[in-house]
Structure 1
Amino acid sequence: MTILSYADSALSLLPPVVAIMMAIVTRRVLLSLGMGILLGAVLINDFSVIASGQYLGEQVAGLFWDDGAVNAWNMYLLGFLVLLGMITSLITVSGAASAFADWARNYIKCKRDAKLLTMFLGCVIFIDDYFNSLVVGSVARPLTDRYYVSRSKLAYILDSTAAPICVISPVSSWGAYIIALIGGILTAHGFTDSGHLSVFIQMIPMNFYAIFALLLLLCVIFWDLNVGPMRQHELNAQKGNLYDEAKGLPPGANSDLPEAKNGKILGLFLPIIVLVLATFYFMVSSGGDVLAADGKPFSILGAFEHTDVASSLFFGALVGFIATLALVLIQGLDKLYLTKGLVAGARSMLPAIYILLFAWTIAGVIGQLETGKYMASLASGNIPFALLPAVLFVLAGLTAFSTGTSWGTFGIMLPIAADMAMGTHTNMMLPMLAAVLAGAVFGDHCSPISDTTILSSTGANCHHIDHVITQLPYALIVAGISLGGYIVLGFTESLMAGLATCSILFVISILVLKFKSTQAIS
């Protein structure tokens, strides 16, 4: 079978663009992803129907069986989803979720407090973006439902405290991955005296998108700033319609589950605490095993750099599931409730699993088409040096949007940014690398085929495309603010000037949003 490469061709953009545009227009995610996959397959195989069918079969099989062995990453992650679905359902049928909502009502007095608590939890549980979105969603959803926060708003809060927190946290799966990448890049360019962790910390204030996405979220919560489609979703929520019921149950949702009357808040907190601690342990343990095998001394940062994220999530969820099951058995939960909870929990994750499988498939197709390399190639040419941070931010955003992966964008764009800095002005190396990180998170926030976006929808029990459409205006606002900051940073070579520009643009944006919000109310 002849496989064609489109690394130097705009045709490599066609499958992701078709999939994304169809998803936005039709709001049918699986159909849209399927069309993108088919289009990519025929392009790769020079429009041969037989070869395309064979290629698709290999791609789908590779999701489960790769290089003569089980595809452990995918299987562990799917197992994690199923286990977390069952944990969430057991917490619901045990009455623990309702007990927590009743308890929190004594301390959480209003809608704003419920959203602030969700944001706080999202900022605290930062070890991994998948884990953040799903676990925080499970904890916060009973409370936000009680105060009629739309599921779209909840998904936005989850997504805006997942990647933006992980990308600036050194002790997270993202931070460790980025530190490893940057360490290799700096070493390759002769910067052997620079501590990799210290370099990462220096880059944190240069990640304008992550910083101002969090600040915008805080302002949105405080002043209830509903932009674009989010306004209608919030209005519907005030009438009791937390999501669009005409579209059926969203991924992760359970309908009409029975709830025990003797639920205790311990039934919610203990499983989640066990889940968090167990996942952290397995992350450190799996990374520590790699360090030991390589003869390297143990360190928390080193362990996170080498951790097996997928297996850690799965085994952490397995321990959390056992703890949850033990609690409901001690509680004396009716066997019918227990059975319904387990079945409904596993079934509730099927829509998210279907979307993830399609997203992984199109990611493989896009990788074969080398879409990311084509996007990266656009950064070369006669671009004025002062504009490079802004250009890299935009191209990283477009690459992540098209490919649906921040990590893949990091891997492609960071070495290119470093090479460009070495060829022009080495003092701008870190700002240019930070611009790539910021742009990748921006593109990830906007992309319907991003796994983080998919799992934020799942954690909130929100229809996926509704989350994408309602989050997009907020992401674009922060992207505009960040772009202005990177332009000024490039021309002045001053971080303070860049941050000051972002701050001024941010204040102006908030004033405009508050004015429009007031006009809408009046």
Structure 2
Amino acid sequence: MTIISYADSALSLLPPVVAVVLAMITRRVLLSLGLGILIGGLLLTDFSIVGTGQYLTAKVTSLVWNDGALNSWNLYILGFLVLLGMITALITVSGSARAFAEWARKHIRNKRDAKLLTIFLGCVVFIDDYFNSLVVGSVARPLTDRYYVSRSKLAYILDSTAAPVCVISPVSSWGAYIIALIGGILTSHGFADTGHLSIFVQMIPMNFYAIFALLLLICVALMGLDIGPMREHELNAQKGNLYDESKGLPPGAVSDLPEASSGNILGLFLPISVLVLATFYFMVSSGGEVLAAKGLDFSFIGAFENTNVGSSLFLGAVVGLAVTLIMSVVQGIDKKMIIKGMSMGARSMLPALYILMFAWTIAAVIGQLETGKYMASLATGNIPFEMLPAVLFVLAGLTAFATGTSWGTFGIMLPIAADMAMGSHSAMMLPMLAAVLAGAVFGDHCSPISDTTILSSTGAGCHHIDHVITQLPYALIVAGISFVGYLVLGFTGSVTIGFITCSFLFVISVILLRMKSNQGRY
């Protein structure tokens, strides 16, 4: 079977564009992703029906069995989702979720405080974006439901405290990956003596999108800046409709579960705390083992750089589930209720598993079409170096949007940004690298085929496309602010002036949003 290359062709954009546009129009994610996958397979096999069938069969099989061995990364992530669904359901069955909601009624004064607490939790649990979205969602959902915060708003909070926090946190799976990637790039360009961690820290204030996405989220929570589709979802939530029930039960949500009357908040906080601590332990220990095997001294940054995220999440969830089960038995929960809770919790995650597997498949197809390389090639023209940070921000955003992956965009775009900086104006190296990081997170936020976006909607118990559409206006506002900031940075050469420009535009945007959201306020 011959595979055709589309690295230099705009046709490589066709599958992701079809999938994204169709998903937005039809709101049917699996159908849209499936059609995108089919088109990609046809393109790669020169429209051979038999070849396409063979190719897609191989791609689907590779999700669980690849290169003669189990695809451990995928299986660990899928297993983590199922186990977390069980933990969440057991917490509900034990009555602990209801007890937490009752506790919140006494200690959390209003809807605003519920949202702010969720943001705080999202910023604290920063070790991995998958972990952030799912675990914080499980903890915060009873609280936000109690105060009639729409599931779409919860998904927005989860998504905007996942990647934006991880991308500026050195002690996270994202930070370690970026530090390792940038370290290799700088070394290849003769900066071997530069401290890679210090370089990462220097780039934090240059990541305009991540910083101002977090700031806008806080303003939305404090001021109720509900615009566009989000306003409609929040209005419906005030009537008790936390999600669109006409579309069925969203991924990650369970209904009709029996609840014990003897629940307490310890039944929620202890399993989740153990889950967090166990996952952190496994991430550090697995990375430490790799360091030891290489004969290197232990460091937290080094451990996170070499950690096995998938296995750490899975093993952490196993420990968390064990603690949840023990607490349920000690509490005296009927065995039939426990079994029913675990079964329904696992089943509640099936829609998320299907969407994630389809997203992984289309990502693999897009990777073979070399869509990312085609997007990157658009930046190699005769562009004035003053505009390069802004141009790279946009192209990284489009690449992440089309491919559904921030990490893949980092791997493609960061080396190109470094080469362009060395070939034009080396002093702009760090701003250009930061612009790629910012653009990749922006594109990831907007993309319906992004795994982080999928898991944020799962963690919130929100229909996936509803999350994408309600988050999009906020992401575009911050992207516009960031784009102007990178333009100013490029022409002035000053990070400070670029940041001040973003700050000014941010204040103006918040004022305008406040005025718009006050019109017809509920």
User: What TM-score do you get using the length of structure 1 for normalisation?
Assistant: 1.00
Matched with 1:418 is 418
Matched with 1:231 is 231
Q: 1:287-298 maps to which residues of 2 (within 5 A)?
A: 287-298=287-298
RMSD of equivalent CA atoms = 0.6
Matched with 2:509 is 509
- The amino acid across from 1:313 in the alignment is L
Matched with 2:480 is 480
SS in 2 for 1:168: coil
Matched with 1:436 is 436
- The amino acid across from 1:192 in the alignment is A
Give the C-alpha shift of residue 107 in structure 1: 1.2
Give the C-alpha shift of residue 520 in structure 1: 2.6
Deviation per CA, 1:268-308, whole angstroms, max 9, x where unpaired? 00000100000000000110111111111111110000000
SS in 1 for 2:520: helix
Deviation per CA, 1:284-338, whole angstroms, max 9, x where unpaired? 0110111111111111110000000000000000000001000001001012211
Give the C-alpha shift of residue 517 in structure 1: 1.2
Question: 1:381 & 1:12 partners in 2: Cα distance?
Answer: 19
Matched with 1:207 is 207
Question: 2:481 & 2:340 partners in 1: Cα distance?
Answer: 48
Deviation per CA, 1:228-270, whole angstroms, max 9, x where unpaired? 0000000000000000000000000101111000001110000
Q: 1:151-300 maps to which residues of 2 (within 5 A)?
A: 151-300=151-300
Matched with 1:143 is 143
Question: 1:509 & 1:337 partners in 2: Cα distance?
Answer: 50
Matched with 1:405 is 405
SS in 1 for 2:7: coil
Matched with 1:373 is 373
Deviation per CA, 1:199-252, whole angstroms, max 9, x where unpaired? 000000000000000000000000000010000000000000000000000000
Q: Where does structure 1 differ by over 3 angstroms across 4 or more consecutive aligned residues? A: none
Is there any run of 5+ residues in structure 2 with no aligned partner, and where? none
Matched with 2:490 is 490
Question: 1:416 & 1:520 partners in 2: Cα distance?
Answer: 47
- The amino acid across from 1:408 in the alignment is G
Matched, 1:361 2:361: yes
Deviation per CA, 1:391-448, whole angstroms, max 9, x where unpaired? 0000000000000000000000000000000001111100000000000000000000
Deviation per CA, 1:129-174, whole angstroms, max 9, x where unpaired? 0000000000000010000000000000000000000000000000
Deviation per CA, 1:169-203, whole angstroms, max 9, x where unpaired? 00000000000000000000000111000000000
Question: 1:278 & 1:518 partners in 2: Cα distance?
Answer: 45
Matched with 2:15 is 15
Matched, 1:100 2:100: yes
- The amino acid across from 1:224 in the alignment is G
Give the C-alpha shift of residue 106 in structure 1: 1.4
Question: 1:140 & 1:518 partners in 2: Cα distance?
Answer: 27
SS in 1 for 2:84: helix
Question: 1:231 & 1:337 partners in 2: Cα distance?
Answer: 38
Question: 2:377 & 2:521 partners in 1: Cα distance?
Answer: 47
Question: 1:129 & 1:518 partners in 2: Cα distance?
Answer: 33
Question: 2:12 & 2:236 partners in 1: Cα distance?
Answer: 40
Matched with 1:462 is 462
Q: 1:59-98 maps to which residues of 2 (within 5 A)?
A: 59-98=59-98
Q: 1:316-395 maps to which residues of 2 (within 5 A)?
A: 316-395=316-395
Matched, 1:302 2:295: no
Matched with 2:26 is 26
Give the C-alpha shift of residue 105 in structure 1: 1.5
Counting matched residue pairs gives 522
Percent of residue pairs identical = 78
- The amino acid across from 1:163 in the alignment is A
Deviation per CA, 1:360-396, whole angstroms, max 9, x where unpaired? 0000000000000000000001111100000000000
Question: 1:475 & 1:521 partners in 2: Cα distance?
Answer: 22
SS in 2 for 1:3: coil
User: What TM-score do you get using the length of structure 2 for normalisation?
Assistant: 1.00
SS in 1 for 2:121: helix
